Structure 1
């Protein structure tokens, strides 16, 4: 082989190496782009045009398309699926007059109980507060779905809870109906709790740090379950599903009350609420004439207020003066992941702007 041929071979080999390196760099760059690209919650569950997002610091984000906040609302990947994460501390700035923080969607429109509306979700609760008072029914709990009234007292005909005591492997799923209190004094309102899997709201500890027996048919953290809420012709239909658990269904009339006199109060109410003066009755047509709307996310039921104020709702949990970072570091928060969700609303639904005008930045 002569000198010229040798030189040409070397040049060709060098050119090949350079192009190979360039192509490899492009491929690596493409892979890196894919792994670092942000997947927004609105890409996982594309229905955010129908909601306003409230964050755990009380901020109303509005429509959360192409939005994330790493403290409260973002996506994660687990078990070959993307999940939308809702996270909120035990204390901080709250929305409206509530004592509790939330990272939660609130429907942009309101509708009436005689129309047809439906909300579904597949989710798993990843964390509930590890501090609180075991005697307080709301301790260690988070609400993952609601129907809320936009009018009148702004009460809640539905709240879906998950609650797990510290040291227990399994927690409970239960749902609440809150009466639409008759008259102008809403301070006497109360909730009635119904167990789905595990216990209802009324099962509490004997002392601050003594826990009841763990439910055998409960739901563990990181265990997926689903719910369907359908309201049609004045009746609320609920369905709860989870692999390895019995499917449960319930109905509740939202336009005709069964609690119009004192003698109608359930035994559970007499045990939990009457002793603290919450012994109201409900208007005969319940929620018939009020605009209603769905909520979905993580509405933390554990707060730092003293149980002396209200032994059902004030948990006395650790809050570190509202320091969110410190609460997250010490397990004083709620976190819920949603994999799927869907919303159907009636054609006669109207703007819910009045609710947000009243409750934003209070």
Structure 2
């Protein structure tokens, strides 16, 4: 049985917001910070995924500037948060946008025309400066920021939708350890677990591939940079405690290879791996993930209240653990949609 969440969390937040506005904080400042949070966290998410797809586990080499701050923060173990392990969370916004500029070939598709984006950053930097120094916002700041979010709608849709535009490749088209091991079922763990999981745990396994918008379409037969493997597990009536799963020591050896751990609901677990990483290491990592998931597949009926508590417990675990996010839910057919809630939206799926 999962523990009850803190009962006063929402009331504490509500009181803080009411007190701040009541004591003189402009409501526009709260709104502006909220919109900036949407923008900057989206840019981090985008940079993270595209760097992982490009470089695999070596992605952190691109964000070495954050290492010092992250090390200092790690010393305060009583104050660590879900993104404490994310190097991108320690970059100044200028460093983040510089990183995006250097990797425009991988990230530009999700933004704007390049010169337009560069010009927009001038205004955005002034807004960020006012927020960081707790200054009153300009009357047009919120409008400018919301316009930027509206302009990013189509690119964000493409980023999310391509992540979930997955297919099962023909085993003969993937002549590597993953193809032989899991598409053909020749890996020791595949031979040991796939049928065993179905019979003993009522758990289905599925392995699929996706392509980032910038990746070469012609390399899908031998996927590498720009492609992602998605190993998914569906335990019927056996809910998985995502928090315990993520922190289980068995995952320690493969954690550097895990791009995301996703849970769409209590009866689903997915692991995303970068095809840019060594195919033998990824093939073995799928086996480790499979073994670990089965350890947490215990039959249990969940009431609606327990499902709600499962969801609360599965959030804010780690920046790589995604529950109820757009990465979980947005597919090419998820239209019309307004991703940022800023008055924009996508009516029809763009091509990629």
TM-score (norm 1): 0.25
Higher relative contact order (CA 8 A, sep 6+): 1
Q: TM-score by structure 2 length?
A: 0.25
